C-alpha cells in the first residue's frame, strides 16, 4: 500500500472508529463533546502504535506497548475509554480549550488528543516513570507533528513543577491512592480525572478540587495498567480452588488455610425475585454491595475465576474478572451469575459454609435495597489521611496511605 492509500485507509478507519464510539456512547446515555470528537477524527492513532497493523491500530481496544515479563506496564488505552475520560474532563470543566493539562502516564496518543483540544492557548505536559515510554512518546509526538507537548520522565508521585498549577490532571494508569501532589497541582477549581481502585474495583472518577479535598463529579467503569513507582500498590491474591482466587486489595488478612475446602461444601443460593430487562445497567451495584457488606461482620473481597473454573461449575460469579464476595467465620458468599427467564433476568447470590443460606439471603437483601432505592449511583469524596473521623462526611470510609475516601449513594430523596 503506497503512502497516499495508507493515509486514506487510516482516515477511513479512524472515522469508522469514532462513529462506533459515538454509537456506544448513545447506548450508554452519554454524549461525546464536539471538541473530543474533532480531536479523535484528527489524530493519527497509527503513529502511536508503531509496528501494529493499521486495522489493529483502529480497533476499539488497548494496544500493549511495554511488558515486564508477563505483566503489561504500558499501553495505548482503548479509544472508547479515552473518549469517555476526555468527556468527563470536558464536562466537569465546561470545555477544555485553552486549559493547562498534566497527563500522568504517557503513551503519546492521549497527549496529542489533549493538544488538539486545548489548542495554542492551552498547554499539555505528559509524565511517565519509564524512560522507554517517554522516549517513545517523544518520538511519536514529533512524528505526528505535536511538538508543543512537554514530555517529562519522572515519578508522578511528586510534583512535576512544585509552583505550577493545572486546570486538569488526567491519570492514564490505575491508582490505588491519591498522592497529595495530584491535588496540590490543581488550580483552585481544577479537576482530577483518575482511574481509582476502591474495594478492589476501578472507576474513572472526575473529581473537583475544593480546598484540601476532592469531590466527585462523574464516574465510569474502567480498567488500566497499574501505577508504578512510589505509588504502586501490590494486590494480594488467595487461591481457594483450582483457578479460583480472592483479590484482597484493602489490607484484608484472610488466611488461605481457612478457605482450602470452602467450595466443596454444599452451595446455597438466594434470589431477589425480580425480572429486569436486558438493558438494565448494573455497573453501580457492586460498589453498593461493597459499602453495605463492609459495614457488616466479616470481610469484603473480590472473587476472580479462570474461564475453566466457571465452565466446570466450581463457581458461577456475576463476572469472572471480579465479583463482590464476603467471608464471615467460615462462610463464603458472592454475587452470582444472572438467572434468565423469558428475556428477563433475576439477581442472586451463592454461598458455601455453615451459615450459607443466611449469608446468601443477606447479600440479596442488599441487592433489593439498591433496586428499591432507584439504582443510585455512588458519590465520592477524598480527604487527607490526617482528617479526624469527626470531620468526615457520612458514608463508608476507606483508609489509604495518603487519603481517607468516603463513598456514599445519594438517592433522589437525599439530593
Catalytic (active-site) positions? 77
| Strands of 287-378, DSSP E | 299-305, 323-328, 331-335, 339-341, 344-346, 348-352
Give the residue among 85, 21, 29, 23 at the shortest CA–CA distance from 59.
21
Number of H helices, E strands in the chain: 10, 21
Helix (H) / strand (E) containing 71? strand 71-76
Q: Are 209 and 186 in contact (CB under 8 A)?
A: yes
Helix (H) / strand (E) containing 10? helix 3-27
Q: Are 265 and 193 in contact (CB under 8 A)?
A: no
Supply 15's cell numbers: 472515522
Please, which residues have CB within 8 angstroms of residue 286's CB and are 6 or more apart in sequence? 201, 318, 322, 323, 324, 335
Angle of CA points 63, 30, 223, to nearest 5°: 35
Residues in the chain: 415
Please, which residues have CB within 8 angstroms of residue 118's CB and are 6 or more apart in sequence? 96, 97, 98, 99, 100, 101, 124
Sheet holding 244-248, edge to edge: 236-241, 244-248, 299-305, 323-328, 331-335, 348-352, 267-271
Q: Are 76 and 62 in contact (CB under 8 A)?
A: yes
Q: Are 137 and 143 in contact (CB under 8 A)?
A: no
Give the residue among 240, 228, 231 at the shortest CA–CA distance from 178.
231
Helix (H) / strand (E) containing 11? helix 3-27
Amino acid at each position: 500500500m503506497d503512502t497516499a492509500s495508507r493515509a486514506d485507509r487510516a482516515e477511513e478507519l479512524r472515522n469508522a472508529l469514532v462513529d462506533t464510539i459515538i454509537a456506544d456512547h448513545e447506548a450508554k446515555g452519554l454524549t461525546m463533546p464536539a471538541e473530543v470528537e474533532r480531536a479523535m477524527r484528527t489524530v493519527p492513532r497509527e503513529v502511536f502504535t508503531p509496528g501494529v497493523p493499521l486495522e489493529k491500530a483502529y480497533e476499539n481496544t488497548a494496544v500493549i506497548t511495554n511488558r515486564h515479563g508477563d505483566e503489561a506496564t504500558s499501553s495505548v488505552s482503548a479509544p472508547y475509554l479515552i473518549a469517555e475520560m476526555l468527556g468527563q474532563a470536558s464536562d466537569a470543566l465546561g470545555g477544555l480549550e485553552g486549559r493547562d493539562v498534566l497527563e500522568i502516564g504517557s503513551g503519546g496518543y492521549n497527549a496529542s488528543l489533549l493538544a488538539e483540544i486545548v489548542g495554542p492557548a492551552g498547554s499539555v505536559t505528559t509524565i511517565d516513570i519509564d524512560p522507554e515510554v517517554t522516549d517513545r512518546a517523544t518520538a511519536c509526538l514529533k512524528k505526528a507533528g505535536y511538538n508543543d507537548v512537554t514530555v517529562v520522565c519522572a515519578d508522578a508521585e511528586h510534583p512535576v513543577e512544585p509552583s505550577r498549577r493545572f486546570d486538569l490532571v488526567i491519570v492514564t494508569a490505575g491508582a490505588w491512592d491519591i498522592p497529595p501532589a495530584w491535588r496540590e497541582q490543581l488550580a483552585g477549581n481544577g479537576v482530577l480525572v483518575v482511574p481509582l481502585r476502591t474495594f478492589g474495583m476501578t472507576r474513572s472518577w472526575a473529581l473537583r478540587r475544593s480546598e484540601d479535598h476532592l469531590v466527585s463529579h462523574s464516574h465510569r467503569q474502567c480498567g488500566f495498567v497499574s501505577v508504578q513507582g512510589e505509588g504502586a500498590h501490590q494486590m494480594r491474591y488467595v487461591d481457594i480452588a483450582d483457578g479460583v482466587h480472592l483479590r484482597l486489595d484493602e489490607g484484608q488478612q484472610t488466611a488461605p488455610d481457612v478457605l482450602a475446602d470452602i467450595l466443596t461444601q454444599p452451595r446455597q443460593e438466594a434470589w431477589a425475585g425480580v425480572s429486569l430487562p436486558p438493558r438494565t445497567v448494573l455497573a453501580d451495584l457492586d460498589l453498593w454491595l461493597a459499602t453495605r457488606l463492609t459495614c457488616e461482620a466479616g470481610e469484603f473481597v473480590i472473587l476472580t475465576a479462570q474461564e475453566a473454573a466457571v465452565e466446570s461449575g466450581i463457581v458461577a460469579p456475576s463476572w469472572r474478572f471480579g465479583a463482590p464476595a464476603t467471608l464471615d467465620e467460615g462462610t463464603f458468599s458472592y454475587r452470582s451469575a444472572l438467572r434468565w427467564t423469558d428475556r428477563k433476568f433475576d439477581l442472586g447470590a451463592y454461598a458455601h459454609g455453615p451459615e450459607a443460606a443466611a449469608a446468601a439471603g443477606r447479600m440479596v437483601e442488599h441487592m433489593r435495597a439498591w433496586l428499591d432505592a432507584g439504582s443510585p449511583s455512588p458519590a465520592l469524596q477524598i480527604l487527607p489521611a490526617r482528617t479526624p473521623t469527626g470531620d468526615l462526611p457520612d458514608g463508608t470510609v476507606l483508609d489509604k496511605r495518603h487519603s481517607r475516601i468516603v463513598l456514599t449513594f445519594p438517592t433522589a430523596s437525599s439530593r
